[in-house]
Amino acid sequence: MFLDRVKISIKAGNGGNGSASFLRNAMTAKGGPDGGEGGHGGNIIFKVDKNINTLYEFKFHKKFVAENGTDGGKRLKTGSNGKDLIIKVPCGTVIYDSETEKVIADLCSENDEFVALRGGKGGHGNNYYKSSIKQAPHYSQTGEITKQREVILELKTIADVGLVGFPNVGKSTLLATISNANPKIANYPFTTLYPNLGVCEVNGETFVVADIPGLIEGASEGQGLGHYFLKHIERVRLIIHLIDISQSDGRNFIEDYFVINKELENYNKDIAKTPQIVVFTKSDLIDSETLFERTNLFKERVGKDFLVISSITNSGILELKKLTLEKLSKIPKKTPLDIEEFDFDKKDISSLEISRDDEGAFVLKGGKIDNFIRGVVLSDNRSFAYFQKRLEDMGIIDMLKQRGLKNGGVVKIKDIVFEYSE
């Protein structure tokens, strides 16, 4: 099965806790603080792997968690950093924020990578808080806890050329003839169920060709399989539009031309503007007189240039390869998609919300509080004093006073409740 859109969850590693320990050995009965720093959590990184062509692996594996940092230890031992988790994706993977559906990364070149989530910071050990006035801090900082997020991965094939046309017109056969690819070929419609890529070489130069599953009338509205794959044509620079000139499937070749172009236009106006080479296939199945009549009719009715080929006799194949290369040399590469700035990573450390509950207690919330509170281990009186002092330094006590906080008033911060005393 071909999978080209999938939702997965990702989580960077948590930071390790800082340690609050004191040096104790035979020589120093009462040593100083020696608690080490917590290690940082691992990042979540998406990286292009050119050996992967589909998102199939994500069918079974949908949850990705990077390693946590470990806690700091005694004797200033720093915790180890969590390992980054590298998620390998095919070239052409677009990543969306699943909440907003905005594009947050477009991994469209071979060496692209994207750090989606940064690991939580490790907490400071008590040694870090040592100062001239505070020789023996008993508190340390907890590591940062990261949140799980959801992203959507979507594969939009990256190829220079897309082979487009009705089912059974010979797209896969042409791909097999001109490139190193080995797609399934059979004399029935919808043989190709997902895009195949091949590299075609002409005069020492190469380009990448994608064989797209056959389109039918209504494809842009969901008929057949094609609609699902039209997105893979979005990024090709050149379309080779294949039409069965032998009419072996009983359709009319001129109608075929218009129907497919209409579907492209209905799907996306930009695709309709992509340069095309019109190619008549299976010319070996009709005699030269019929071929002459039909191509003349096409000139009259449509008036566009075309090439005539047969993948069986190879006639016209070299000419098509050369024309493709020549056209490509004049068409600029498509630029990556516009990226919305990704704000999973931005931490809210400034917001502060003050409200009062039914009992008249002051309730503090917001990023500023979250950031601060993780540093406080309140099992201990000395760290509690530090906590109140920090609230004062941050100007929060003044703000509360302006709103009516008096001596003995109750303040709630998450699960910490205390009475304010001047």
Ligand X SMILES: Nc1nc2c(ncn2[C@@H]2O[C@H](COP(=O)(O)OP(=O)(O)OP(=O)(O)O)[C@@H](O)[C@H]2O)c(=O)[nH]1
Binding site for Mg ion (CB under 5 A): 171-172, 191-192
Cα 3 to chain center, whole Å? 15
Q: Which stretch in 19-27, 57-65, 169-177, 319-327 sits in contact with ligand X by CB under 6 A?
A: 169-177
Could you say whether residue 192 binds ligand X (CB under 6 A)?
yes
Measured distance CA(366)–CA(350) in Å, rounded: 8
Could you say whether residue 378 binds ligand X (CB under 6 A)?
no
Could you say whether residue 127 binds ligand X (CB under 6 A)?
no
Contact 246, 285 (CB under 8 A): yes
Site for ligand X in 197-216 (CB under 6 A): 213-214
Q: Which of 2, 56, 58, 190 binds ligand X (CB under 6 A)?
A: 190
Nearest to ligand X of 124, 241 (CB atom): 241
Could you say whether residue 118 binds ligand X (CB under 6 A)?
no
Site for ligand X in 297-336 (CB under 6 A): 310-312
Contact 70, 83 (CB under 8 A): no
Q: Which stretch in 111-119, 127-135, 163-171, 360-368 sits in contact with ligand X by CB under 6 A?
A: 163-171
Nearest to ligand X of 142, 310 (CB atom): 310
285 binds, among Mg ion, ligand X, none (CB under 5 to 8 A by kind): ligand X
Report the residue closest to Mg ion, judged by CB: 192
Q: Minimal distance in Å, beta carbon 4 to ligand X?
A: 17
Could you say whether residue 179 binds ligand X (CB under 6 A)?
no
Contact 156, 133 (CB under 8 A): no
The neighbouring-strand residues paired with 377 are none
Long-range contacts formed by 310-318: CB under 8 A, 24+ apart: 310/281, 310/282, 310/283, 310/284, 311/170, 311/173, 311/174, 311/176, 311/177, 311/281, 312/173, 312/282, 312/284, 313/284, 314/177, 315/283, 315/284, 316/279, 316/283, 317/177, 317/178
Could you say whether residue 294 binds ligand X (CB under 6 A)?
no
Q: Minimal distance in Å, beta carbon 50 to ligand X?
A: 24
Could you say whether residue 191 binds ligand X (CB under 6 A)?
yes
- Cα–Cα nearest to 39, from 72, 5, 61, 12: 72
Q: Which of 90, 170, 198, 316 binds ligand X (CB under 6 A)?
A: 170
Nearest to Mg ion of 189, 367 (CB atom): 189
Q: Which of 146, 281, 324, 383 binds ligand X (CB under 6 A)?
A: 281
Write the CA distances from 211 to 206, 300, 318, integer angstroms: 16, 29, 18
Nearest to ligand X of 105, 233 (CB atom): 233
Could you say whether residue 6 binds ligand X (CB under 6 A)?
no
Q: Minimal distance in Å, beta carbon 171 to Mg ion?
A: 5
Encoded tokens for 103: 């594009």
- Cα–Cα nearest to 231, from 305, 157, 339, 314: 157
Measured distance CA(415)–CA(370) in Å, rounded: 12
User: At residue 311, what is the residue type?
Assistant: S
Could you say whether residue 402 binds ligand X (CB under 6 A)?
no
> For binding to ligand X (CB under 6 A), which residues are involved?
167-173, 185-187, 189-192, 213-214, 281-282, 284-285, 310-312
